[in-house]
Structure 1
Amino acid sequence: MKPMDTLRDRSPTFSGFGSVLRHDFPASLVVFLVAIPLSLGIAVASGAPLVAGLVAAVVGGVVAGCLGGSAVQVSGPAAGLAIVVSDLVQTYGWRATCMITIMAGALQFLLGLCRVARAALAVSPAVVYGTLAGVGVTIALAQLHVVLGGSPQHSALANIIELPAQLLANHSHAVAAGLLTISVLVVWGRLPRRIRAVPAPLAALTITALASATLSWDVTHVDLAVDPTVWTSPLWPQGDWHGIAAAVLLIALLAGVETLLCSVGVDKLHTGPRADLDRELTGQGVANMISGVLGGLPVAGVIVRSTANVGAGARSRWSAVMQGLWVLTFAFGFAWTIRYIPMEALAALLVFIGVQMVNLVHIRNLRGHGEVPIYLVTLAAVVFIGLAEGALIGIGLAALLALRRLTWISVTVNAEPDGRRHVVIGGSLTFLGVPRLVSGLASVPAGVPVDLDLNVDFMDNAAFEALHMWRLEHERLGGTVDIDEMHDEWYTLAAKGVRVFPAKTPPVTPDHWWLPWADRRRRRPGPCRTSALTRHAHAHGPEQPELVVGAREFHRRTAALVRPILTRMASKQEPSHLFITCADSRVVPSLITASGPGDLFTVRNIGNLVPRHGAAPYDDSVVAAIEYATTVLGVRTITVCGHSGCGAMAALLGGAVNAEELPGLRRWLTHGHHSLARYIMTDSTGEDAGPLDRLCRVNVIQQLDNLRTYPGVDALVASGRLELVGIYFDIAQARVHMLTGQEAAEDLPVG
C-alpha cells in the first residue's frame, strides 16, 4: 500500500477509551517529539522568549484541539508567522505583541461566528504558497548568519549582501554545530524505518548537543531566560493606532488562512469526518486569546505536526490535546535540558525549515494553471519588500490575471477552399473584449459567405451589439453569416429580445454528438444554427472521408473540452469495468452506459463471445484482454453486453454460414455452440420475445458461465473481488436490460 493510501485509511473517529489508548496516545507522543524543537526554533526566529513557543504549543494543542473543527489537525506556533511577530517585537515590544495576539484572536473568533471561514479559501493558493515561501527564504537567510557565527541583518537584502563576508570569515565551532545539524536533518529521512521513528528535528538537536558537549565546542547555548512559572501580563501597545490595527488584522488573517488551508490539506489525508472550518476558526481565535494572555506566540494550524499526527495513527482530537499536555509537562519538569542545545543548532533547524517552505510540489501544481508568476512575484515581494506588502502585491496580481482570463477572447479567421470564411470566436464576450472582437472581424472580406462558431460562455450587451452590427453590415454588402453557438444561445436569445441572465454556464458537449454522420450532415433549421459538420463536408468536397471530417469536427468542438481529462489520465488507465460486447456498429458502449474516457476496458467481437478455457479453436485475443484486465488493471466488474437482432446469433440459429466464403467466421461461431445448446434446453413458455432475441439473451448468460471456466476469474469471483454482469441492449427501443439469475428471460429494465 502506498504511503498516502496508508494515511487516508486512518479515520479520525472516536470509538471509546480503548481507541484513544491504541491510536491517539502513541500519536500524541510522536507529535510531542516533533513539536518541542520546532516550537523552540520558531520562538528564536520570532525574537520572542523561548518559553513563548512552548506556551503556544500547549495552548494550540489543548485549547484549539478541544474547540477546533478538525479532529486530527494540530495547532501551535507557525513558521509562517515568525517574520510578522519579529517585526512586532522590534516595534512594540514583547508584552505589547502578546496584546496584539489577544486582539487578533478576538477578531478570528468573531469571523468564525459570522461563518466567513469559507471566504478565506478564496485567496489564491499561489499567493498563500508564495507568501509562505517568502517567509521561509527570509527566515533561512537570517538564521544562516547565526549558523555561520554572525548576527542577522535588518532585512533579507542586507542578509544577502553580507553573506559572502560571513562565508569567508573564520567561524570555528559554530559552523560545525550548524553543519552537523543540517547534515542529520538531510540524512535522517534515508535511514531505516526503526531509526526514523525518532523525529528528525529531535534527533538533529540531540546529536548536535551531545557532540558539542563531548568535543567541548565553543557555542552559544540556549536558555529559557524566563521561568515558566512566572507570568508577565500583556501590555497595551503604544503608537499609531492605524499600525496596531493593521498588525491585528495581519496576524488574524495570516494565521486564519494558514489554519484553514491546513485543515483542507489534512482532510485529504484521512477518510474520517471533514473539518468544520467555521468552528476551526472560532477555536483558533480562543486559542490565540489564551496564548496571548499567557505570554505565548500566535497559534495556527501547522501542516508538519498535523501530517505527523495522521501518519502516526491519530483518530480523534485527543491526540492533539495530549500532545499539548506532554509539552506542558516538559516545560515544567524538563526545561533544564534545553540549556544543552546550541543556539547554532536551532538556527540550522530554522534554515532547514525555511528551505522546506519553498515547496517544489506547489510550483509544479501551479505551473499547469499558469500561476507560477503569481507565486514568484509574491515570494520576491515578501523577501525584498515585506510580508504584508508582498501578500497584497500577490493578491493584486492574481486578481489582474483572473480578470484577464475572464475577459480574454480569441478571434480566428480561416479561408476555406471554396472561398468561404470560417470564423471561431472563443472566450467571454464582454465590453472589455469588444476592441479585439471588432479588430478580428474586420479581417473578413466583404461579401463572402461566413460560417461563424461562437464558443463563448458569456456575452454582454456591448459584445452583442458589436457582433450584431458587424453581421448586419456584412449581409448588407452581399455576404452571408451562419452562426453556430456551441454553448448556450447567447446571440440567438439577445437577437430575439429575450432576457439573457448574466451568469456563466459550464461547457457542454456539442449538440447531437451522438448522431450518425448522415444525420449530422443535414442542416438544422433556424436563422443562426448551421451544422459545422455540414460546412466542413461541403468545403472539402464529397470525396473527403467521413472519418476525416469527423476528426476535424472533434478537434474543433470537443478536443478542448476533454483535453484536461485526457491529460490527467494520459500516463495511466484505471478502468473499473471490462466490457465485452458485439462488434455491431449500432452498439456504442459509451452511449448506452453514459461512460467516459477511462471507464471501460472494451473487447468487441462477433457475437460478444467468450471462448471457454482451453476451447478450440484457441483465441489469444479475448484471453489476453481478460488476463490483462483482471491481473494488471484490477477491474472490479466484467460486463457482457448482447443486443437484439444479433447477426452472429442469427447465423447460429439458421446455420447459414458459408464455409468457403467465410471460413474464419464459421470457426469463430463454434464458440457459440454452448449458447445454442442452452437455448434449446431453455423453456420458452410465456415469453413474448422471438427465437432470435431469446437466443441473444441466452448467449449473454452463457458467456458469463464461460468466464467462470478461467481459474483466475473464478477465484476472483469466489472471493468477492470481481463481479460478473450481463446486460442486453434492445436497439429498436433504445433500452438497456440487466440480465439476472440463471434464465435469460428474467431481466430487469434499467431505464
Structure 2
Amino acid sequence: MSRVSTVLKHDLPASFVVFLISIPLSLGIAAASGAPLIAGLVAAVVGGVVVGSLGGSALQVSGPAAGMIVIVAGLIDQFGWAATAAITVAAGVVQILLGITKVGRLALSLSPAVVHGMLSGIGVTIVVGQLHVVLGGTADGNILTNLVQLPARVPVWGALLIGVITILTMVLWPKIPRSGMVPAPLVAVTVATGVAIVTQLDIATVHLPDNPLDGLALPQMPGGGAFAIGLAVVTVALVASVESLLSAVAVDKMHNGPRADLDRELVGQGAANAVSGALGGLPVTGVIVRSSTNVAAGARTRASAILHGVWIALFVLFLAQVLQLIPMAALAGVLIVIGARLVHAGHLKDLRLHGELAVYAVTVLGVIVLGLLEGVALGVAVAVVRALYRLAHTSVRVREGEDHWCVDVGGSLVFVGVGKLVRELRRIPDGGKVVLQLDIDFIDHAAFEAIDGWRGGYESRGGHVEVLEKNTWYGRARDGKPGLRKTIPWVGRWTDWERRTFRMPEPREPVLDGALEFERMASHLVRPCLAELARQGQRPEQLFITCADSRVLPNLIMSSGPGEQFCVRNVGNLVPVHLESEEDSSVGAAIEFAVDVLNVPTIVVCGHSHCGAMKALLGNTAEPGTRLRSWLRNAASSLARVDGTDDVDLLAAANVAQQLDNLRTYPTVRKAEDQGRLRLVGMYFDLTEARVYLVDPDDYRLVQLESQH
C-alpha cells in the first residue's frame, strides 16, 4: 500500500476522530488553568502540526495536557498569563537542548511510584477545583482553599445538572457496545450542550472573541527574581518532558509500528512549546488520551496527528461561534472524569507488591499540599532513601548445622550493608567450621575487606571458613582481579557449575542436588511471589507451545517468570489438527483451557534450530510402529510445504507456520481470533546464536525482532 493510500484509508479518518476529542479537552484544560480559552486551542493546533512533523513518536498526539493544569494555574497566579507564555517559550528551548544532548531517555529513570503519585496528586487537584465549576462557581488556584470553600459553595442548579449529565455520559458511553469510535468527551459535551440549549438554562458558556485571533496574547518578560523565573522554566520543561516521554513509551506498547526516538521527541516537544508560547498558547505535551484514541482509530503514520491540528485551526477560524454554545460546567464535568482516572487504583496493588506505597503516598500528599515540584522532589527523596535502605539490608541468614555453621549472603554487597553482615558473622562461636555461601551479583572493596578480615580473624582463632560462590566475586578479589561489572546468575549445566564452584571431582546426583540447591538458595526469594499466585490463581500472558528439546528454555528466552507463561512442550512443537488425532488430546486440552479458561491474549508456537524431530521427519528415521513415528505424522503437512528440501532449519521454520494453521482448526481459537482477543505468533530460536526470530508465515523467512521496533 502506497503512502498516499495509507494516509487516505487510515490516517485521514483517525485524524477526524482525534480532532473531535481534542476540541472539548483543549477548552476544558484552558478553562481549568485560568488561561484564555483560545490558548488551549492554539496549543492543540501547534502540538498537532509541529510535534507531528518533528517529534520522534509517529502516533503520539500532543497538545495541552491535564497534567500541566496545576503548574500553569500557579504560574498565571504568580506571573500573569503573558509572562507564562514567555516561560513556555523558554521551557521549549530547554527541551530542545535536552533532546540535542541526548538525555531524553534519562527522564525515564524517574521511579514509577513517583510518576503515578504525581499524576494522582494532579488528578485530585483537578477534581476538587472543577467541582466548584460544576456547582456554578469558579475554582481557586490552591487546592486547600478549594477544599475549605467547597462545603460552603451554593450550587447553581442548572450548572449542576449539566455537570452531572456530562459525568454520567462520560462514564456510561464506553459501556455501550461499538461506541469506541465516537469519543466519550465529544458525546458528553454534545449531549450536555444540547440539554442546555433546549432548556435555555442561564449558565456560563465558553466565551471567545468575535475574531479568535484577537484573543491571542503575545508573551511578555516575567517580572520577579531570576531564581523564580528559572525555577518556573525548569519546572515546565521537566514536567512536560517526563509526561511526553512516558506517554510515548506507553503508545509504543499499543502498536507494532516504528518505536519512538525519545531524544527526537524532546526536540519536537520543545519546538512546539516555543511556537505555542510565542503565539500565546498553553504548554504542549504528549497526551495519552488523544494518543490512544489515535492508535485505536487506526492511524498508521504521523499524518494523522498533523491533520488533526489542521482541522482544529480551520474550525476555530470559521466555526468559532459553535464553541460558544458549550457550557463551562460541561467542560468541567469532562475534566472531573479525566482527573479521577489519573488516580489509577490499579497501580496501588503493583506498588504494594513492590513495597513502594510509601513513595507513592508521599508524592501524592506533597503535590496536593505543597505543589507539584515540591511533591515530586519529596517522592524522589523517599525513593532514594528507600533504595539506600535496601542496599543496607543485604540478605544474610545464619543457620547452625550438625557439624558446621551455614551463612547465606544474597544481593549486592556494598559498604552500606557491611554493618549488618559483620554483626551476623560475629554471632558465630569461635573454633568451628563455617560454610559461607555468597550468592551475590556485586561486591565493593569495603564489603570484600569486611569478609576477608573476618575470615582471617576467625581462622587465626582456630576456626575454618569455606567460601562457596557462584559468580566468584570474592575469589577474584582475593586473587587481585576484582570484577568491574555486575554479573547474571549462572546459566548452564548444573554439574558443570557444581564442579567449577565446589571443585568436587566425585560423581554427584544432579536431580536431588539441584532440588536441594533450589530450596537453599532460591526458594525463599520466590516464595512471596508464588504464595501470592497461589492465592490469586494464574493469569499467564501467553500459551507457549515449543519443543521438548532440553536446550530450549522457554522462560529464559521469553524473559518470563512464575505465572506469566502457560507452556506446552512436545517432540517437534506440534499441534494436531482438531479432531483428526485422538491418540493424544493433551495438546488440544491445553489450547482450550488456555483460551477459554485462562483467556490468554497470545499463543506462541516456537520452533528451533538443530531440531531432532525435524531431522527424524526429514530423514524418515523414526522406526515403524513406534509412538514417535505415529506422532510425527502430525508434521506431514509441514514436510509437504518444503517438499524436496534437505534443510532441517528451513523445515523447522515451515513447521512453525503449519502449526499456526493447525491452531486455527480449533473452534475456540478461531472464535477468539475473530473477536480480536487472541493473537497467534510464530517464533524460531537459533541455538547457535542464542537469538529469537519471528517466522513469516508466508515464506518461512526469519525476521529479526529489532526490525519490528
TM-score, normalised by the number of residues in structure 2? 0.80
Aligned pair partner of 1:151 in 138, 148, 169: 138
Q: Report which stretch shifted further, 365-374 or 32-41.
A: 365-374
Cα offsets for 1:108-159 (capped at 9, x unmatched): 1122122221122122222222112211111111111221233324522232
Q: Check whether the contact 1:64–1:283 (CA below 8 A) recurs between aligned residues.
A: yes
Q: Are 2:326 and 1:357 equivalent residues in the alignment?
A: no
Alignment match of 2:313 (pick from 315, 328, 350)? 328
Counterpart position of 2:585: 624
* Offset of residue 459 of structure 1: 1.5
Secondary structure, aligned partner of 2:399: strand
1:524-563 equivalences in 2 (<5 Å): 529=502, 550-559=514-523
| Aligned residue type for 1:555 | E
**Pick aligned residue for 1:121 from 82, 86, 108:** 108
Q: Tell me the CA shift for residue 573 of structure 1.
A: 7.6
Q: CA deviation at 1:202?
A: 1.4
Give the aligned partner of residue 411 of structure 2.
427
Counterpart CA distance in 2 for 1:443 and 1:532 is: 33
Pair 1:178–1:593, CA change in 2 (3 A): closer
SS of aligned partner of 2:56:
coil
How far did 1:218 drift? 2.7
Cα distance, 1:706 vs. partner?
Answer: 3.4
2:199 alignment partner AA: L
Cα shift at 1:546: 8.4
| Partner of residue 218 from structure 2, selected from 223, 233, 239 | 233
Within the candidate set 484, 494, 498, 1:513 is matched to 494
SS at match of 2:212: coil
| Distance in 2, Cα, partners of 1:98 & 1:432 | 47
Provide closer, same or farther for how the CA distance between residues 594 and 459 of structure 1 changes in structure 2, counting only shifts above 3 A.
closer
1:200-227 per-position Cα deviation (integer Å, ceiling 9, x unaligned):
1111111111112222323112212473
Distance 1:592 1:335 in 2: 58
Decide which moves more: 434-443 or 634-643. 634-643
Give the Cα–Cα distance (whole angstroms) in 2 for the partners of residues 196 and 723 of structure 1: 31
Q: Separation in 2 of the partners of 1:611 and 1:69?
A: 45
Q: CA 1:247–1:628 in structure 2 vs 1: closer, same or farther (change >3 Å)?
A: same
- Greater CA drift, 88-97 or 622-631: 622-631
Kindly provide the amino acid, as one letter, of the partner of residue 491 in structure 1.
Answer: Y
After superposing the two structures, state which structure 1 stretch, 470-479 or 281-290, moved more.
Answer: 470-479
Larger radius of gyration between Structure 1 and Structure 2:
1
Letter in 2 for 1:469: G
**Secondary structure of 2:409's match?**
strand
Q: Distance in 2 between matches of 1:337 and 1:366?
A: 45
Counterparts of 1:32-43 in structure 2, within 5 Å, are 32-43=19-30
Q: Cα offset for 1:97? A: 0.9
**Aligned equivalent of 1:636, options 588, 602, 605:** 605
Is 1:305 paired with 2:290? yes
Per-residue deviation, 1:561: 7.7
CA–CA distance in structure 1, aligned partners of residues 372 and 576 of structure 2: 69
The one-letter code of the counterpart of 1:513 is W
SS in 2 for 1:86: helix
**What code does the residue aligned with 2:378 have?**
I
Q: How does 1:177-326 map to 2 (within 5 A)?
A: 177-193=162-178, 195-225=179-209, 227-230=211-214, 231-326=216-311
Report if the CA contact (8 A) 1:309-1:319 is conserved: yes
Aligned partner letter, 1:423: V
**Cα separation, partners in 2 of 1:410 and 1:48, compared to 1, 3 Å:** same
Q: TM-score, normalised by structure 1?
A: 0.75
CA shift for structure 1 position 506: 2.4
C-alpha distance after superposition, 1:513-538 (max 9, x if no partner): 156xxx96xxx588xx477999xx9x
1:221-260 deviations in whole A, cap 9, x for unaligned?
Answer: 2212473222432111111111001101111111111111
Contact 2:605 2:656 in 1 (8 A): no
The 3-state SS of whatever aligns with 1:218 is: coil
Contact 1:72 1:309 survives alignment (8 Å): yes
CA distance in 2, matches of 1:593, 1:202: 45
How far has the Cα of 1:352 moved from its partner?
A: 1.3
Which residue of structure 2 aligns with residue 541 of structure 1? none
For residues 407 and 253 of structure 2, the distance between their equivalents in structure 1, rounded to whole angstroms, comes to: 44
Residue pairs, 1:382-401, within 5 angstroms: 382-401=367-386
Distance 1:181 1:722 in 2: 47
Q: Are 1:21 and 2:21 an aligned pair?
A: no
Shift of 1:695: 6.6
Is the contact made by 2:48 and 2:63 (CA closer than 8 Å) also made in structure 1? yes
Partner of 2:478: 495
> Is residue 133 of structure 2 the alignment partner of residue 136 of structure 1?
no
Describe the SS at the equivalent of 2:435.
strand
* Paired letter, 1:492: G
Q: Output one character per residue of 1:381-424: Cα deviation in whole Å (capped at 9) or x when no partner.
A: 001111111111112122222233334312211111x2311111
Post-superposition Cα deviations, 1:653-677, rounded to whole Å, max 9, x if no partner, equal: xxxxxxxxxxxxxxxxxxxxxx9xx
Distance in structure 2 (CA, Å) of the matches to 1:592 and 1:75: 39
Which residue number corresponds to residue 745 of structure 1? none
**2:151 paired residue number:** 164
Residue deviations 1:18-41, cap 9 Å, x none? 111110100000000000000000
Bigger Cα displacement from structure 2, 393-402 vs 48-57? 393-402
Instruction: Rate the CA distance shift 1:573–1:478 in 2: closer, same or farther, 3 A.
Output: same
Shift of residue 362 of structure 1?
A: 3.1
CA distance in structure 2 between the partners assigned to 1:723 and 1:36 by the alignment: 46
Kept in 2: contact 1:104–1:288 (CA 8 A): yes
Question: How much does 1:593 deviate?
Answer: 12
What stretches of structure 2 of length at least 5 have no aligned partner?
Answer: 595-602, 642-653, 663-709
Q: Taking structure 1 as reference, are residues 573 and 556 closer, same or farther at Cα in structure 2, changes over 3 Å only?
A: farther
In the superposition, relative to structure 1, how do residues 226 and 88 fare at CA in structure 2: closer, same or farther (>3 Å)? Answer: farther
User: How many pairs align?
Assistant: 629
Alpha-carbon distance in 2 for matches of 1:461, 1:593 = 34
Compared CA separation, residues 203 and 559, structure 1 to 2 (3 A): same
The amino acid of 1:295's aligned partner reads: G
In the superposition, relative to structure 1, how do residues 232 and 477 fare at CA in structure 2: closer, same or farther (>3 Å)? closer
- Cα shift at 1:700: 8.7
Contact 2:476–2:483 (CA<8 Å) still a contact in 1?
no
**CA–CA distance in structure 2, aligned partners of residues 381 and 84 of structure 1:** 14
CA distance in 2, matches of 1:156, 1:278: 34
Contact 2:568 2:587 in 1 (8 A): no
Q: CA deviation at 1:309?
A: 0.5
Q: Which residue of 2 aligns with 1:657?
A: none
Give the 3 Å change call, closer, same or farther, for CA 72–551 of structure 1 in structure 2. Answer: same
Kindly indicate whether residue 315 of structure 2 is the aligned counterpart of residue 348 of structure 1: no
Unaligned stretches of 5+ residues in structure 1: 1-13, 538-544, 582-587, 644-674, 683-693, 725-751
- State which drifts further: 326-335 or 110-119: 110-119
Task: Indicate which of 403, 408, 413 corresponds to 2:393.
Answer: 408
Structure 1 position 449 matched with structure 2 position 436: no
Distance in 1, Cα, partners of 2:493 & 2:16: 61
- Alignment correspondent of 1:748: none
User: Aligned to 1:601, which of 555, 568, 589?
Assistant: 568
Shift of 1:353: 1.3
RMSD: 4.0
Equivalent residue, structure 2, for 1:8: none
Counterpart code for 1:392:
A
Relative to structure 1, the CA distance from residue 635 to residue 41 in structure 2 (aligned partners, 3 Å threshold; closer, same or farther) is closer
5 Å matches for 1:719-730?
Answer: 720-722=658-660
* CA apart distance, 1:106: 1.1
CA contact (8 A) 1:42 1:53 kept: yes
In 2, the alpha carbon distance for the partners of 1:307 and 1:612 equals 38
